[in-house]
Amino acid sequence: MSMKVVDVDSLAARLDDATLQAHRVPMLSASGETFSEDEAYRIQRAGVARRESRGERLVGMKMGLTSRAKIKQMGVAMPIYGHLTDAMVVADGGSLSLARLSHPRVEPEVAFILGRDLQGAVTPQQAWEAVAWVCPALEILDSRYENFKFNLVDVIADNASSSHFVVGTGVPARDGVPLECAGLVMEIDGAVVQTGSTAAVYDHPVRSLMLQAAMLARHGGALRAGQVVLTGGATEAVPLSPGRWVRVTVEGLGEASFRTTE
Ligand code: OOG
Ligand code: MG
């Protein structure tokens, strides 16, 4: 029996080059590549290592496909995670040039900033106790795949479509934040484009954090104090174009915003 060996590094390089050159590539799974979910995470980590070798620093993690709206929009019904680096940060109130992006989209999220490390199977209580700040956030996605279409393993290998993210000031977790059902609104140029609730993410986004800790542990990783964790889009993502102003407002948490330029 011959077993095909997955060339993790060359697949990571293919996606990394697509990111750097802002071009789109066919889905890996549709171009004759077969690999497992665990292998897809190895490709993802190899891509992150390439970023780190260019001087980027890991600042957090993201969960994806954690709400029905996102699952329905993307047609992939399994939660995934990705890595966030300092180069992906857009300052709250800052601007993002879309020149190097292929087909950007934006989605509203709740972000946690951790005050403690978190690893493996934890209770909701333990996960919540690791949170220092609860923040409104916007994630800018930019799949490296043609037509923003992918299967589960493709999107995992592609670092969960991550491109950039904005985290608002938020509030200290110790102040008690009712995330069971906080209303959430995303606007573009002052017009409401999505409305939702923090309940859309597993009835409470802390469950996304628990899942992140557990999934990461399966691959030998852990969340660290100081890191940010994006818990996943609470609504569908919306296409982004240059010259826009985007804002998310989350009840009890405040807002986060940024502008897009050419
Ligand atoms: C995959 C990334 C999903 C989320 O918040 O659900 C994600 C995609 O939609 O391209 O970031
Ligand atoms: Mg997201």
Condensed to tens digits (0 to 9), the pLDDT of residues 220-254 reads 999 999 999 999 999 999 999 999 999 999 999 99
Q: Show the ligand 1 pocket: residues with CB < 6 angstroms.
A: 62, 64-66, 70, 74, 107, 139, 141, 143, 155, 160-161, 232-233, 237
pLDDT > 70? residue 3: no
Please give the pLDDT value at position 1: 46
State the average pLDDT over residues 63-78: 98
Condensed to tens digits (0 to 9), the pLDDT of residues 133-182 reads 999 999 999 999 999 999 999 999 999 999 999 999 999 999 888 899 99
State the average pLDDT over residues 50-67: 98
Question: In this structure, which residue's CA is closest to atom 11 in ligand 1?
Answer: 64
Ligand 1, closest atom to CA 230? 5
pLDDT > 60? residue 2: no
Condensed to tens digits (0 to 9), the pLDDT of residues 20-52 reads 999 999 999 998 889 999 999 999 999 999 999
Counting ligand 1 atoms within 8 A of each CB, the residue from 141, 142, 149, 240 with the most, and so the one to mutate, is 141
Counting ligand 1 atoms within 8 A of each CB, the residue from 74, 102, 152, 228 with the most, and so the one to mutate, is 74
Condensed to tens digits (0 to 9), the pLDDT of residues 116-139 reads 999 999 999 999 999 999 999 999
SS3 for the chain, per residue? CCCCCCCHHHHHHHHHHHHHHCCCECCHHHCCCCCCHHHHHHHHHHHHHHHHHCCCCEEEEEEECCEHHHHHHHCCCCCEEEEEEHHHECCCCEEEECCCCCCCEEEEEEEEEECCCECCCCCHHHHHHCEEEEEEEEEEECCCEHHHCCCHHHHHHCHHHEEEEEECCCEEHHHCCCCCCCEEEEEECCEEEEEEEHHHECCCCHHHHHHHHHHHHHCCCCECCCCEEECCCCCCCEECCCCCEEEEEECCCEEEEEEEEC
